[in-house]
Amino acid sequence: MAKKTFKIINHTADVGIIVYGITVKQLFSNAALALSSLITEPKSIKEKIKRPVEITSEDRDNLLVEWLNELIYLFDVEHILFKKFDIENLNSKHIKAICYGEKFDPLRHNIKREVKAATYHMLKIDRDSNGYGVQVIFDV
Amino acid sequence: MSKWQGQLVKIDNYHWKIPSNYKDGMRVPGLIYASEEMLKSICEEQSLTQIANVAFLPGIVNFSMAMPDIHWGYGFPIGGVAAMNVKDGVISPGGVGYDINCGVRLLRTNLTEAEVKPRIKQLVDELFVNIPSGLGSEGKIKINQKEMRELLIEGAHWTVKRGFGSAKDLDVTEENGCMKYADPDRISDKAMKRGMPQIGTLGSGNHFLEIQVVREIFEPKIASVMGINEVNQILILIHTGSRGFGHQVCTEHLRVMEKAVSKYGIQLPDRQLACAPIESKEGKDYLSAMACAANYAWCNRQCIAHWVRESFSKIFDKSPQKLGMEQVYDVAHNIAKIEKHKVNGQNLKVCVHRKGATRAFPSGHKEIPLKYKEIGQPVLIPGDMGSCSFIAVGTHKAMEESFGSTCHGAGRVLSRHAARRSLQGKNVAQGLERRGIVIKTGDISSLAEEASQAYKDVNEVIDICHQAGISRKVVRATPLGVIKG
């Protein structure tokens, strides 16, 4: 499972990602990067802002959705685009990460689409001998 | 993407049924409005499975319904309608969607194509400057927390009080632009923070503003009640919703509903269908928060309509009154509402979820404006960018069959991602310009996602609703100018 980091998949009205990771930490960080790549080209983002993000939830699936929704929120409200995610602490109910990125600059960042939210639709974190995988559908 | 393999029973040329024994746990059958031709494309994806999944929801009455513009959503399909008995049924934020009260507002004018065409570029430029659109756009209205709370309670009335439009607009807005059970205490600080800067913004994605020309009038008498009297008359269509505010409300309440599902022992085939009994605290809280977001959206469209009038007034150097810029109607197409309907001869209070579906109440219904009592509620159906849009009216058959609901648009056939791979935004824009349509957008690459090829033929969608009798087509209009976020 864990060779690629993520791929974008077809969903008629919306857009989805399939994310892989050798560890759950990697899965969460790759999912965040996949989200960034849905919004803009991650290569165009500089690491100017260091932003701690901490979330508590009921289970791991929920935690993943809430983690992604928090990043969507930070973009919508504070206009911060992220490219690097150092996950310091992660268990099935809690994540603590430092996210690196910068404020949206219309001259340098080509915005591909507005992502409204990460959904719970067909969401399930799977595990096989290579690591972890998950599909997330976003409302766009 | 897997094809639909299940059983479909033909009732007549426009009605199809998914028997309730298709899946264990379905409480009612599925009902699909489609032609044989359209059914083929519907069966290519999983939206019918989603119709079957919605039939699992407690308290669902009669059918889990699909309008002909149905396509695969998350949880509920887009184009889905489901009514739940208030007594023992549930409310599901997924049955409304993230863009709460995404909807359409239509303005009519006295102008004709001949008058507007020479100034169309100027008009489109002016509208683009005057109406904030696109990602991360912030509105021109700066308000504090207290004013935001008032806005959430009062909806479009709040906007009219501040001089944006007139009370006449409220008369021709669904719910008069204000849902009564809105309670700002049910709104988080995060939602407030996300919503406050975005009031009066068009947004991006499939949201747009179009200057249109009337091309066909199918029912002249009905159209004239709406102020539409001739072919070549200019109309303006505004399509937007509750922006980040609605998205945040939906996201947060889905989280609450996730817990409610286990608390109330509800069995669901998809987590995105998370719900709670309508009469429970979780259900009532969502309804109050959803009403706030619905009011926010009406306020948003009211602001935009005001700036549209201002822009036309500037370009033509005449007042909006002189230009005859009256509102025809404003409809919501992502919403849940408590309504009274007749079910098996009994009056029943139900919560009608319309996700990508439009209310279509008939003539004589007490909840439609006096002006339209004789003709039925106007139904506004935007097509895809560059094709055409329709105005229809609600019918008695819709009231009997589909809880007073009809379609909301063309409905996707191509995923956004597939559209981007096969089409180029630049080419789409050039194609439109060759047909005389002026387009202005902040993000040209996203045009590919909204190209005509990505959608079903709206003519066919409308005809199915018309033939099935759940709405009656009145006017067809095509775009002259498009603003896309």
Q: What is the pLDDT of residues B206-215, one digit of tens each?
A: 899 999 999 9
Of the CA atoms within 13 Å of residue B463, those in its CB half-sphere come to: 10
pLDDT exceeds cutoff 70 at A1: no
Q: Which stretch of A11-15, B223-227, B320-324, B369-373 has the lowest confidence by average pLDDT?
A: A11-15
Consecutive H or E run containing A75: helix A60-78
pLDDT of residue B1: 53
Is residue A12 within 8 Å of A138, Cβ to Cβ?
A: no
Q: Tell me which of 3.30.565.10, 3.30.70.100, 2.60.120.10, 3.90.1860.10 is the CATH number of domain B9-413+455-484.
A: 3.90.1860.10
Residue B370 and residue B368: Cα distance in Å, rounded? 7
Is residue B254 within 8 Å of B56, Cβ to Cβ?
A: no
Is residue B350 within 8 Å of B61, Cβ to Cβ?
A: yes
Q: For the complex shown, is ipTM > 0.90?
A: no
Distance from the A103 Cα atom to the nearest Cα atom in chain B, whole angstroms: 11
pLDDT exceeds cutoff 70 at B3: yes
Residues from chain A that touch B258, judged by Cβ atoms under 8 A, are 58, 62, 120
- Give the mean model confidence (pLDDT) for residues B361-371: 96
Distance from the B471 Cα atom to the nearest Cα atom in chain A, whole angstroms: 24
pLDDT exceeds cutoff 80 at B2: no
Q: Do B75 and A77 touch (CB under 8 A)?
A: no
Residue B403: CB atoms within 10 Å: 25
Q: Which of B204, B244, B270 sits opposite A122 (nearest CB)?
A: B270
Is residue B154 within 8 Å of B312, Cβ to Cβ?
A: no
- Give the mean model confidence (pLDDT) for residues A102-112: 89
pLDDT of residue B484: 87
Residue B76 and residue B335: Cα distance in Å, rounded? 12
pLDDT of residue B92: 98
Q: Which residue did the predictor score with more confidence, B40 or B312?
A: B312
* CA-based R_g, chain A, Å: 14
pLDDT exceeds cutoff 90 at B411: no
Is residue B421 within 8 Å of B80, Cβ to Cβ?
A: no
How far apart, in Å, are the Cα atoms of B152 and each of B91, B199, B426, B485?
21, 11, 39, 24
What amino acid positions of B are annotated as catalytic residues? 408
Is residue B339 within 8 Å of B357, Cβ to Cβ?
A: no
Which residue reads 């599909």 in tokens?
A135
Residue length of chain B: 485
pLDDT exceeds cutoff 50 at B269: yes
Q: Do B416 and A15 touch (CB under 8 A)?
A: yes
- Give the mean model confidence (pLDDT) for residues A35-56: 96
Residue B14 and residue B384: Cα distance in Å, rounded? 23
Give the confidence band of A47 by pLDDT, cuts at 50, 70, 90.
very high
Q: What are phi and psi of A100, to 5 degrees?
A: -115, 135
| Identity of residue B447 | L
Q: Which stretch of A81-90, B295-304, B434-443 has the lowest confidence by average pLDDT?
A: B434-443
pLDDT exceeds cutoff 60 at B23: yes
A94/B contact by beta carbon, under 8 A: no
Residues from chain B that touch A114, judged by Cβ atoms under 8 A, are 135, 203-205, 485
pLDDT tens-digit profile of B271-292?
Answer: 899 999 999 999 999 999 999 9
Give the confidence band of B424 by pLDDT, cuts at 50, 70, 90.
confident
Domains and CATH numbers, chain A: 6-139 (3.55.10.10)
Is residue B215 within 8 Å of B478, Cβ to Cβ?
A: yes
Q: Do B251 and A104 touch (CB under 8 A)?
A: no
Residue A84 and residue A36: Cα distance in Å, rounded? 10
Q: Which stretch of A80-94, B113-127, B385-399, B438-452 has the lowest confidence by average pLDDT?
A: B438-452
pLDDT of residue A92: 93
Is residue B166 within 8 Å of B160, Cβ to Cβ?
A: yes
Please state, rounded to an integer, the average pLDDT across all residues of chain B.
94
Q: What are phi and psi of B377, to 5 degrees?
A: -70, 130
3-state secondary structure of B146: helix
Q: Which of B75, B78, B205 sits opposite A140 (nearest CB)?
A: B205
pLDDT exceeds cutoff 60 at A2: no
Give the confidence band of A32 by pLDDT, cuts at 50, 70, 90.
very high
Distance between first and last Cα of chain A = 27
The token duo for B257 is 């509903």
pLDDT of residue A3: 60
pLDDT exceeds cutoff 90 at B127: yes
Give the confidence band of B236 by pLDDT, cuts at 50, 70, 90.
very high
How far apart, in Å, are the Cα atoms of B350 and each of B14, B178, B215, B337, B341?
25, 19, 38, 8, 7
Residue B397: CB atoms within 10 Å: 16
Residue B26: CB atoms within 10 Å: 22
